[in-house]
Structure 1
Amino acid sequence: MAFFAYKARNSSGELLTGVMEGADSNAVADQLMAGGITPVDISVTTQTVTGAGASGLGWWARLLEKKVTPMDVQLFSRQLYTLLKAGVPIMRGLAGLQESAISPAFGRVIKDIRESLDAGRELSAAMARHPTIFTPFYLSMVRVGEMTGRLDEVFLRLFDHLEFDRDMRARVKSATRYPSFVVFAMLGAMVVVNMFVIPQFEKVFASFHAELPLMTRILIGTSRFTVAYWPMLALLGVGGFFGWRAWLGTADGRYQWDRSKLRIPVAGKIILKGTMARFARSFALSSSSGVPIVQALTVVAQTVDNTYLSSRVEQMRDGVERGESILRTSVAANVFTPVVLQMIAVGEESGSLDDLMDEIAEMYEREVDYELKTLSSQIEPILIVFLGAMVLVLALGVFLPVWDLGRAAMH
């Protein structure tokens, strides 16, 4: 379908402009008239709906306007849960949220969602038109709510998830702020030493007319290379960054990186446990809502924001389709701990797998919480070894020849 820019008047005679997606201009006119709006002009446009919301703003206003933040989406989820729980129709609820939106940009997003629902789209399809605001996990969870008729509970779960995710990111930033500062400061010091300090020491060492220690020769060679080829090194760094981004954009690159992330010391287990907690929550919600297991695993695989773990869940789904048990497919997936596998076995045997999955999610979340609390203490030994090695190399390379000269002078 194409996008159409329209001019229309509402019942009060006010001129309205915007962009709407439709099969043709007649379909767009029907959508507008169904909403009580009389079209004046409809023309094809290359502008998308997301950008159209800001089309009435000048370029300077668009540049300065505050973007939609994860906090906006989190509060939106909580407000929708409250409205749906109270029995308020979703169209009326969205209208109220649009009027009360603090962020003008997010208000335009809610307006587009309302227009999409008016056009007959599902809520998840309407939200999918804004991929920079609603993540694939968010959209998948909304689809689960649509399938099960439990949208209110889904939005509450999404609010809890976004709150947990925001808290986790804040604590990770807090725990890594000091180590990151130290590492970057040390790397900056290494660049200054290589570019400016060692070349001065090289002149002093040349006056010794003696064979320099191996570590000193390595430092001098590294310094000469850095001074001579620093433009090429900078260019290679920039090219490597963009090449890395392009590789991550491919399906194989994303899969390999998501798999490698799970092996990173300290961080890997936090990523794994956080992702598996999300999987368990989504599966419990789908299962308790009566969604068939195969279909539930298909939807849940989309909620896992790690392509490697998502493929493991799809492998579980394929096994269930072949008639295998959840336990057997979970063992074959090779991502669950023995304790979790035992809980899955008990849940499958007792018929209360959804309850056990909720407990598994809580267990993973507690473990993630503990890992985050101890993150600083886990990083510190690695940081100390790293810094100690760098200082040792510099000390041996720079001061060993001076010490050898002093010892020779004493003799």
Structure 2
Amino acid sequence: MADKAGISNTLFLWKGTDRKGNKVKGKSMASNELIVRAELRRQGIVPSRIKKQTSGFLKGNAKIKPADIAIFSRQLATMLGAGIPLVQAFEIIATGHENFAMQKLIASIKSDVEGGSALAEALAKHQLYFDDLFVNLVEAGEQAGALETLLEKIATYKEKTEAIKNKIKKALTYPAAIIVVAFVVTIILLIFVIPAFEDLFQGFGADLPAFTRMVIDLSQFLRNQGWYIAIIGTAAIYTFFYFKKRSRRMRHFIDRATLKMPIIGSILQKAAIARYARTLSTMFSAGVPLIEALESVAGATGNIVYENGVLRMKDEVATGQRLQQSMENTGLFPNMVVQMIAVGEESGSLDEMSAKVADFYEEDVDNAVDSLSSLLEPMIMAILGILVGGLVIAMYLPIFKMGAVI
């Protein structure tokens, strides 16, 4: 309920004079200007100007990204470490943030904390941005009186997991973009350029080469049936993503299939293991019990196959089985990882060994992605050259043939 109220509130900018006559300014979240004015007077501030925060074209449309949450965690940890009170830290972070949506989020959290809520409780109202892992770690930090330390761990965790995600996304986005461009260029040539050559060839009065005839037939097919293909293709893509988003079984099938893909599957597997190990290390070092930690770790792997595997591990550990044995039972973890976790369990340093596993696989993912990029770039350019070059050759074959006859 409080979250809904926070969303309906507006962010106001204000300027005024405090009890000592100093000029002050700031931001407040409220449903209207009268509430802001009353709150400022209660604080001993005489407002000279109050206005709604205008979002601007870009800022108003900007969404809150995981990177924003990582930066927020780092800034908050730094300010608490410098001895700045929590509420004042929120004000400073919000003032320096250019993302209007992030400003509103921080102002809403600040309002809840000022109202007496614990930070973990205030964050839990915004589950879209702060997952159970984040909230649990903050709660552990508040209870242990080590909020600054836990926020540092959260920031490091978020930064590293986002770095892996962005690395993989960047590696896959470039080839995907090139393939899309190649596809669009090919369609444009077939629909708009090939017909001009077709009209020219009709005046030759001779049989066309088989390759040229095939390209012209494809061009005619696209011109006649292109709309149907586009509609069916769009519907198929929409249906795919619709069921992927809503069907856990569909997501499991897709994630399992991607893990079996050559090269890319290996990278995704390593990334899932890195996230598993990094999350486990962060949770365990914060004093979160293993079974409770595995609950959060499952959702952080980024792959439903690993998520289901970790949830099975949690159930087995709850019955008294060792973590190392439960990992081995899933068949999802390489022997090296299982052995390192076993050493961590034996020596009482599970968090440290998990961190070492995460470091190893994060570096491995970096190297694998760089190698994949180096491999894909020339392959994609070759495919693009074959597509466009093939169409050009198909159109000039009859001209070369006629020239040879003459």
* Aligned AA (1:154): L
1:83 matched to 2:95: no
TM-score (norm 1): 0.74
1:298 to 295, 298, 301: 295
For residues 176-228 of structure 1, the C-alpha deviation after alignment (integer angstroms, 9 at most, x for no partner) is: 67645643442232112211233234345555666655544432332112111
1:332 matched to 2:329: yes
Which residue number corresponds to residue 136 of structure 2?
Answer: 143
CA contact (8 A) 1:274 1:365 kept: yes
Cα drift, residue 317 of structure 1: 0.8
Moved more, 93-102 or 221-230: 93-102
Q: Distance in 2 between matches of 1:321 and 1:165?
A: 27
Q: Distance in 2 between matches of 1:328 and 1:222?
A: 57
Flag the 1:394–1:17 CA change in 2: closer, same or farther, 3 A.
Answer: closer
Which residue number corresponds to residue 106 of structure 2?
Answer: 110
2:149 to 147, 153, 156: 153
Which residue number corresponds to residue 359 of structure 2?
Answer: 362
How large is the Cα RMSD of the aligned pairs? 4.1
2:339 to 306, 324, 342: 342
Cα drift, residue 112 of structure 1: 0.7
Flag the 1:124–1:402 CA change in 2: closer, same or farther, 3 A.
Answer: farther
Cα drift, residue 314 of structure 1: 0.6
1:383 matched to 2:395: no
For residues 59-83 of structure 1, the C-alpha deviation after alignment (integer angstroms, 9 at most, x for no partner) is: x847753634555433321122123
Cα drift, residue 131 of structure 1: 5.0
Q: Distance in 1 between matches of 2:226 and 2:349?
A: 63
CA contact (8 A) 1:141 1:154 kept: no
> Residue 332 of structure 2 aligns to a residue in which SS?
coil
2:89 to 85, 89, 93: 93
Q: Distance in 1 between matches of 2:220 and 2:120?
A: 58
Q: Distance in 2 between matches of 1:298 and 1:118?
A: 31
2:307 to 307, 310, 316: 310
1:228 to 224, 243, 247: 224
> Residue 30 of structure 2 aligns to a residue in which SS?
strand
Moved more, 262-271 or 169-178: 169-178
> How do 1:144-183 residues align onto structure 2 when only pairs under 5 Å count?
144-147=137-140, 149=144, 150-164=146-160, 167-168=163-164, 179=175, 182-183=178-179
Cα drift, residue 175 of structure 1: 5.5
Q: Distance in 1 between matches of 2:97 and 2:267?
A: 35
* Aligned AA (1:375): L
Flag the 1:116–1:303 CA change in 2: closer, same or farther, 3 A.
Answer: farther
> How do 1:157-306 residues align onto structure 2 when only pairs under 5 Å count?
157-164=153-160, 167-168=163-164, 179=175, 182-206=178-202, 214-252=210-248, 253-306=250-303
For residues 112-141 of structure 1, the C-alpha deviation after alignment (integer angstroms, 9 at most, x for no partner) is: 112223455453443344455x253xx513
> Residue 351 of structure 2 aligns to a residue in which SS?
helix
Cα drift, residue 330 of structure 1: 0.9
Q: Distance in 2 between matches of 1:311 and 1:77?
A: 29
Moved more, 257-266 or 288-297: 257-266
Unaligned segments of structure 2, at least 5 residues: 11-17, 19-25, 44-50
The alignment covers a number of residue pairs equal to 374
> Residue 275 of structure 1 aligns to a residue in which SS?
helix
Unaligned segments of structure 1, at least 5 residues: 21-28, 38-54
Which residue number corresponds to residue 42 of structure 1?
Answer: none
Q: Distance in 1 between matches of 2:29 and 2:185?
A: 56
> How do 1:56-75 residues align onto structure 2 when only pairs under 5 Å count?
56=52, 61=56, 65=60, 67=62, 68=64, 70-75=66-71
Flag the 1:271–1:151 CA change in 2: closer, same or farther, 3 A.
Answer: farther
Moved more, 388-397 or 356-365: 388-397
Flag the 1:17–1:387 CA change in 2: closer, same or farther, 3 A.
Answer: closer
CA contact (8 A) 2:29 2:111 kept: no
> Residue 249 of structure 1 aligns to a residue in which SS?
helix
Which residue number corresponds to residue 348 of structure 2?
Answer: 351
Identity %: 29
Cα drift, residue 267 of structure 1: 3.6
1:18 matched to 2:15: no
Cα drift, residue 282 of structure 1: 1.7
